[in-house]
Amino acid sequence: MTFQNTLSFAQQLDAEDPLAAYRDQFHFPKVNGKDVIYFTGNSLGLQPKSTSAFVEEIMKDWRELAVEGHFHAEKPWWDYHERLAEPLAKVVGAKSSEISVMNTLTVNLHLLMVTFYRPTQKRYKILCEEKAFPSDQYMFQSQIKFHGLDTSDTLVEVKKREGEHFWRTEDVLAKIEEVGDELALVLLGGVNYYNGQVFDMEAITRAGKAAGAYVGWDLAHAVGNVELKLHDWNADFAAWCSYKYMNSGPGNASGVFIHERYHGRTDIPRFEGWWGTKKETRFLMQPEFDPMDNADAWQISNAPVLALAPYLASLEMFEEVGMQALIEKRNKIVAYLEFILREIDKEVDSSFEIITPKARGTQLSVFLHGEGRSLFDYLMKNGVITDWREPNVIRLAPAPFYCSFEDMYHFGQILKQGIEES
């Protein structure tokens, strides 16, 4: 398709968009009396309008049933989390038995490290990407110190090549081979938060497993954004937050994937609690842990149903639409955004550099050469909600559920005005 940088062309794309109607199912903040152009679904997704009803249902059951809501609510609380497993399994390419929802992302990564980071004198090193998201860096460092090891010797970072803004898959695979039988764990972000790069998770997982290491993924920026096949890729585990592309609300519950080969085992290292025991024996209050035969064995406490309700509301939309349709629109709207950026770059005395490689999801990260924070401030004051990263990068993530092609056109015009006025 040949794109055009015109309002009429953008409106034509919206008229042809089979997902266009979903935009009306979300609440938009307003600036200057108008709905914002929202590019930060990679940080916090917009609120679905159906969310309130899901939360109110639980509040009503709490008011009217109190403790009996655990078993007699329309959606009983004691197994509320199980309703999320099947739709999430479709999003991440897993079996529903391999999915659980609990805690928050970094908490879950720490808990999963109990199982999947078991350093020995010979095999103890962890491989990650350089400058991983700070939470992951802190998690790695604290886990390594917890095991009495030296971070400088234990944590192996795969670096980008000099002058490049992205990682090369061959460099990741070469580093895995180099570390060899000292490698205990490969744990990377499936989509890098800064440049928006999608890693070749299948190839990296295969290489890590061949080296004898466990392989896990932090999918904070991947779930609901890119195609995942965690079970078929043979990943050992993964975890993700739910408040970015999955629109479940700020700081909300984390999902986990644990491959079925680890299910039903009593000999596996794991921090355990009451809610990980089998439902059939849970209320017998037995002294010995009897694990669920699925990923729920890693649950420690009962589910925070008020937090899970918004997640379930969002997952209903993912069920209706399916990841393939979201990915098709994602590819088209991101391509149109890239086109708009390059057209505006030709028209103004500035220089944009898109540092996101072609292996990408919804996000484009753009170096604004010659521009400073004032341009970001201009965009925000004029209703473009985007994200600034030092030194002069803006991250643009047009989430396909609620962003329109007309948004992309208007963003280009506001960006042009901001540069010209500066």
Q: Quick: pLDDT tens for 275-321.
A: 999 999 998 999 999 999 999 999 999 999 999 999 999 999 999 99
Cα separation, 155 vs 137, in Å, equals 10
Cis omega before residue 119 (within 30°)?
Answer: no
Q: What element of type H or E holds 35?
A: strand 34-35
What token pair was written down for 274?
């009451």
Structural domain boundaries enclosing 230? 52-321
pLDDT greater than 80 at residue 350: no
Q: The domain spanning residue 293 has which CATH number?
A: 3.40.640.10
pTM: 0.96
Spatial separation of the C-alpha atoms in residues 99 and 95, rounded to whole Å: 7
Task: Specify if 205 maps to a domain.
Answer: yes
One-letter amino acid at 368 equals: L
Residues 157 and 209 in one domain: yes
Nearest to 87 by CA among 316, 254, 240: 316
> Computed over its alpha carbons, how large is the radius of gyration of the chain?
23
Give the separation between CA 388 and CA 394, rounded to whole angstroms. 5
pLDDT of residue 64 exceeding 90: yes
- pLDDT for position 421: 87
For the stretch 116-134, pLDDT in tens is 999 999 999 999 999 999 9
Closest CA to 236 of 188, 293, 192, 173: 188
Higher pLDDT among residues 359 and 392, named by residue: 359
Looking at the domain assignment, is residue 289 inside a domain?
yes
Whether residues 389 and 301 fall in one domain: no
pLDDT 10s digits, 71-81: 999 999 999 99
Identify whether 12 is part of a domain: yes
pLDDT of residue 9: 98
Determine the Cα–Cα distance for residues 199 and 209; give it in Å rounded to an integer: 16
Q: Does 285 reside within a domain? A: yes
Does a structural domain hold residue 139?
A: yes
User: Is residue 67 within 8 Å of residue 74, measured between CB atoms?
Assistant: no
Distance CA 260, CA 253 (A): 22
Contact between 248 and 44 under an 8 Å Cβ cutoff? The reply is: no
Whether 391 has a pLDDT exceeding 90, the answer reads no
